[in-house]
Amino acid sequence: MNFIGYYWRHSFINQVKKLFRASILIFIVVCLIFGVVIGLGIGFLGSKLSGDDAETTESVAEDAAPPDSATIHNVIELGAGALILLFIALAVLTADKSGGSAFLGADTVLLFTAPIKPQTVLLFRLLMQTGAVIAGTFYIFFQILSLAFRSVISTGSAFALLGAWIFLLVYHKLFSVLFYTLSMTHPRFKKALRPTLYGTLLLLTGAYLLYAARNGYSSATLFGFFNAPPTRYIPFWGWLKGAALFAMEGKPLASLLSFGALLLLAVALIIMIWGLKADFYEDAAAKTAAREAALETAAGGTPAKRRKDRSESLRRDGFSHGEGATVYWHKTFYNRFRFAPLGFLTKTTVTYFLVSLVASLFLRFGLGQKNFATVALLLGGLVFFRALGNPIAGDVEQPSFFLVPDTARRKVFFSFAAGFCSSALDLLPAFLLGAILCAASPLSAILWLLLILSLDVYADGVGLCIGLALATGLSQTVRSLVQICFIYFGMIPAAGILVWGFATAHLTLSVLLVVLFHLLLGALTLFLSPRIIEKGKK
């Protein structure tokens, strides 16, 4: 295993070296420090105000009294349980892809032919990925330690939370290795995997519905079913919940026992994986070759080949709109109306709509609440994470971008404007549905809409600017991590302003300030990006 540590150490150091080649780094570091300092400062202010001025807070809250600590604890436990289930489900759903898509071209050439067990090679690559994910979520570490620092939770609880998070990521990779190895070696296992997952989820839902039919549909029933004390003894799922939550409840021994059980299970899984007869090189090599070819094609600026042919009924000619930079605007909408059913219903529109529908109905009929803020936050999260995909980069990275006879400023503007309007069109139906189902006040709805759209402007602008400023030699993973970290830290002041507004009964003002803050940062980065392009920084 000597080569694993060697690779990890050297590739990490070299990534950092490459990162330092970008002149933007100084700017990033300054902004990170700025974000951390302001974040901590506002955090202190928020916790101080929420403690000293509880009456003020109450007067602002839309839904009467704030939830008590038991409810908060229950919500945390429910969320933790759902998160763990989501990770397991993802490991199952991506079982046939996770291993195959994990490798680099060099792995197939240098390691697949080396005298190393296939499981070791797979574990090597997945461990590298886990390391990158853990490093990429260091802001979660920061947040947890910040909670301990502000005495919201004890130091022991903070470490338990960190431990649980790392165990979750490691287990996700272990399950991925196990399911992938079994799927590639035993076709019957592969066939049975997804139906087993769906069956288990159906059983769980059925059991809950039965339980709720007897006890009534309320949040208490939900907590009573999923957070029942015996659930913490369910292997892995319950142990992982228990490891963190026992510590938070002041039961360190139970927490340690849960961690011990998790450790033993991890060892057992590793031994089991080692003992399997693995045969996945052909599949993995083919997938890696296809992925590398797609990446090379993308780097060369030509569109990657689709796996499936598009429908013959699609319009295939008639794009004759715009000139110069405006072609980016027309192209986006021409494609939107051409590919989306009814010229409008993109997959994103439908996804947002379904999320809004399910969340609103669950809040209203499952929990008996009409809290529009939850739906708006969910939609905001979806818009934000979609913007992290850096949609403008698709235009900017094409070699033809440089050939279009117009200024870089106009080209970036029209590409951004088209993406922004398209994103707004995706959001609107879901947003209106949520507002109606939750009976949100018009002022509240407008404020939330402004906030989400300004967040999109901010994430688009900052993502593009940082992407352009980073050295081209960096791996895609590191590029994405830096972009995400930068966007995340840049949002800390905005979060601080919102906390301030909430604590001092100036919520409307604070939302408007945040909108202004996002728009200013978005505009600044959109102003800088064309300059970087013209400088040939990329």
Partner 1 sequence: MLNVTHLTKRYGKTLGCSDLSFDLPRESITVLLGPNGAGKSTLLKSVAGLLRYEGSITIDGKSNRDLAAKRLLGYIPEIPALYPNLTVAEHMEFIARAYRLSDYRARADALLDRFELSDKKKKFGDELSKGMQQKLNLCLGLLPSPSLILMDEPMIGLDPHAIKELKTMMEELRRDGCTLLVSTHIIDSVDMLWDRTLIMQKGNLAADVTRASLADAGETLEDLFFSVTEAEAGQEESV
Binding site for partner 1 (CB under 8 A): 2-3, 6-7, 10-11, 14-15, 18, 104-106, 108-117, 279, 281-282, 285, 292, 473, 475
Nearer to partner 1, 5 or 343 (CB): 5
In the bound complex, what is the minimum distance in angstroms from residue 255's beta carbon to partner 1?
38
In the bound complex, what is the minimum distance in angstroms from residue 22's beta carbon to partner 1?
15
Contact (CB, 8 A) for 405 and 324: yes
In the bound complex, what is the minimum distance in angstroms from residue 308's beta carbon to partner 1?
17
Token output for 188: 């019957």
Nearest to 430 by CA among 318, 503, 351, 343: 351
In the bound complex, what is the minimum distance in angstroms from residue 105's beta carbon to partner 1?
4
Nearer to partner 1, 113 or 320 (CB): 113
Rounded CA separation 96/253 (Å): 39
Nearest to 435 by CA among 452, 455, 456: 452
Rounded CA separation 414/395 (Å): 10
Token output for 57: 């807070």
* Sign of the C-alpha dihedral computed for residues 411, 392, 137 and 297 taken in this order: negative
Nearer to partner 1, 6 or 198 (CB): 6
Rounded CA separation 233/242 (Å): 8
Other C-beta atoms within 10 Å of 413: how many?
20
Nearer to partner 1, 14 or 215 (CB): 14
Cβ-based neighbours of 348, under 8 Å, separated by 6 or more: 386, 426
Alpha helices for 301-371 (secondary structure H): 327-339, 347-361
Rounded CA separation 293/302 (Å): 11
Cβ-based neighbours of 183, under 8 Å, separated by 6 or more: 95, 96, 189, 190, 193
In the bound complex, what is the minimum distance in angstroms from residue 426's beta carbon to partner 1?
35
Longest dimension (CA), the chain: 70
Nearer to partner 1, 16 or 29 (CB): 16
Nearer to partner 1, 187 or 442 (CB): 187
Nearer to partner 1, 17 or 48 (CB): 17
Nearest to 391 by CA among 486, 339, 456: 456
In the bound complex, what is the minimum distance in angstroms from residue 18's beta carbon to partner 1?
7
Nearer to partner 1, 285 or 513 (CB): 285
Nearer to partner 1, 15 or 98 (CB): 15
Nearer to partner 1, 106 or 204 (CB): 106
Nearer to partner 1, 121 or 245 (CB): 121
In the bound complex, what is the minimum distance in angstroms from residue 300's beta carbon to partner 1?
14
Nearer to partner 1, 307 or 316 (CB): 307
| Residue found by looking up tokens 């992982």 in the block | 240
| Residue found by looking up tokens 């390391």 in the block | 131
In the bound complex, what is the minimum distance in angstroms from residue 450's beta carbon to partner 1?
42
341: which DSSP letter?
A: G
In the bound complex, what is the minimum distance in angstroms from residue 135's beta carbon to partner 1?
14
In the bound complex, what is the minimum distance in angstroms from residue 278's beta carbon to partner 1?
10
Nearer to partner 1, 155 or 475 (CB): 475
Taking the CA atoms of the chain, what radius of gyration do you get in angstroms? 25
Give CA separation, 193 vs 89, 199, 204, 274, in Å. Answer: 10, 10, 17, 20
Contact (CB, 8 A) for 425 and 348: no
* Sign of the C-alpha dihedral computed for residues 417, 418, 421 and 426 taken in this order: negative
SS (H, E, C) 439-460: CCCHHHHHHHHHHHHHHHHHHH
463 burial via Cβ count (<10 Å: 0-12, 13-18, 19+) = buried
In the bound complex, what is the minimum distance in angstroms from residue 21's beta carbon to partner 1?
11
In the bound complex, what is the minimum distance in angstroms from residue 4's beta carbon to partner 1?
9
Extended beta strands in 411-506, E state:
none
Give CA separation, 494 vs 220, 324, 343, 352, in Å. Answer: 34, 36, 36, 24
In the bound complex, what is the minimum distance in angstroms from residue 40's beta carbon to partner 1?
33
